[in-house]
């Protein structure tokens, strides 16, 4: 009857409102955590910088110590710089539709260019640094794609004490519109329980150790937000103590995208 129908529809509306409300509460909590994380990540380097400046003001400080304090202040300033760059990228990808400027771009020079800075560091640490793949053009935002490779290679370098780092790509024989890309290392690997949270903002598998290495836990979330904006997904394959491989596909032509991420 009519009352029954009215009651039904009111109940459905109430359930929907409750669901919306729960989602709002969750979003607000997430936002609170996000700001707390940012505050935390800024406070640490600022403390170090102000402490270092105090030390530098001491009279009669030996030249060698002065150099060390200056290095430390520079590192912390660099860390803040990276943090702001990552936050800006995340904010832009959240807010702007025109976040990307896609065009045809040759992949090899792009990767070589990003890799140049890391090759030296890798080789200085006795790591084999390889780049391999055909000379092809892909369709993507070159600046953002550089950031993807930059973050993945920088992680590979941070977490690989010995062996090699390889950036490779090949055509997909089954689907000629796509290129398979990967950044792999023979580093410490990632324990399976962390894999599904790896791309969350500020997530680190080992807080103390990663902070040591200067990471805020934003690198992979930036990678994911850039690939998401392209309609692309990223996969991780990792084994503890053996190494990790981050792989994704890139379109050779406009109009190709895929959205499902797979974590192994
Ligand atoms: P961070 O800036 O701390 O490196 P990321 O978002 O780039 O933050 O990475 C999140 C976490 O994932 C890191 O703290 C690290 O524990 C883990 N991780 C990322 N890449 C690798 C890798 N190649 N090998 C091992 N662990 C990795």
- Name every residue whose Cβ is closer than 8 Å to that of residue 11 and which is 6 or more positions away in sequence: none
How far apart are the CA of 175 and the centre of ligand 1, in A? 31
Structure confidence at residue 33 (pLDDT) = 87
Mutate which of 44, 158, 200, 208 for ligand 1 pocket (most atoms within 8 A of beta carbon): 158
For residues 115 and 146, is the Cβ–Cβ distance under 8 A? no
Task: Report the pLDDT value the prediction gives residue 235, as an integer from 0 to 100.
Answer: 96
pLDDT of residue 173: 83
User: How far is ligand 1, taken at its centre, from the CA of residue 137, in Å?
Assistant: 29
Both structure tokens of 192:
């399976």
Instruction: Give the model's pLDDT for residue 150.
Output: 94
| Total Cβ atoms within 10 A of residue 100 | 18
First to last CA, the chain: 53
What distance in Å separates the CA atoms of residue 114 and residue 165, rounded to the nearest whole number?
Answer: 14
Residue 95, both tokens: 């807010």
Sheet holding 128-132, edge to edge: 128-132, 164-171, 178-185, 243-251, 234-239
Query: Which residues surround ligand 1 with Cβ inside 6 Å?
Result: 151, 155-156, 159, 185, 187-190, 198, 203-206, 210, 215-221, 244
Atom from ligand 1 closest to the CA of residue 219: 7
pLDDT at 262: 45
Closest C-alpha residue for ligand 1 atom 19: 155
- pLDDT value, residue 207: 67
**Rounded Cα distance, 29 and 121, in Å:** 40
What is the distance in A from the centroid of ligand 1 to the CA of 155? 6
pLDDT at 260: 46
Q: What is residue 212's predicted lDDT score, i.e. its pLDDT?
A: 59
As beta bridge partners, residue 183 has 167, 246
Q: Whose CA is nearest to atom 2 of ligand 1?
A: 215
With contact defined as beta carbons under 8 Å apart, do 173 and 145 qualify? no
How many whole angstroms from 100 Cα to the centroid of ligand 1? 25
- How would you write the pLDDT of the chain (264 residues) with one tens digit per residue? 888 999 999 999 999 999 999 999 988 888 888 888 899 889 988 999 999 999 999 999 899 999 999 999 998 998 899 899 889 888 888 776 667 889 999 999 999 999 998 999 999 999 999 999 999 999 999 999 999 999 999 999 999 999 999 999 999 888 889 999 999 999 999 999 999 999 998 888 876 555 556 678 899 999 999 999 899 999 999 999 999 999 999 999 987 555 444 444
């Amino acid at each position: 009857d009519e009352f029954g129908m009215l009651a039904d529809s009111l109940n459905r509306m109430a359930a929907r409102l409750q669901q919306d409300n729960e989602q709002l509460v969750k979003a607000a909590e997430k936002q609170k955590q996000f700001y707390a994380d940012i505050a935390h990540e800024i406070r640490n380097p600022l403390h170090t910088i102000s402490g270092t400046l105090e030390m530098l003001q001491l009279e009669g400080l030996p030249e060698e110590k002065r150099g060390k304090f200056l290095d430390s202040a520079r590192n912390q300033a660099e860390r803040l710089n990276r943090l702001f760059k990552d936050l800006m990228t995340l904010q832009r990808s959240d807010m702007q539709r025109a976040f990307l400027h896609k065009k045809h771009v040759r992949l090899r020079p792009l990767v070589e260019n990003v890799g140049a800075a890391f090759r030296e560091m890798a080789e200085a640490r006795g790591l084999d640094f390889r780049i391999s793949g055909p000379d092809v053009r892909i369709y993507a935002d070159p600046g953002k794609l550089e950031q993807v490779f930059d973050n993945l290679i920088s992680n590979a370098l941070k977490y690989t004490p010995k062996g090699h780092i390889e950036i490779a790509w090949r055509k997909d024989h089954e689907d000629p519109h796509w290129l398979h890309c990967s950044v792999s290392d023979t580093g410490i690997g990632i324990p399976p329980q962390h894999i599904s949270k790896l791309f969350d903002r500020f997530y680190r598998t080992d807080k103390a150790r990663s902070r040591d290495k200067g990471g805020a836990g934003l690198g992979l979330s930036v990678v994911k937000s850039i690939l998401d904006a392209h309609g692309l997904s990223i996969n991780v394959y990792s084994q503890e103590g053996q190494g990790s491989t981050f792989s994704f596909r890139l379109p050779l032509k406009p109009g190709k995208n895929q959205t499902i991420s797979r974590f192994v």
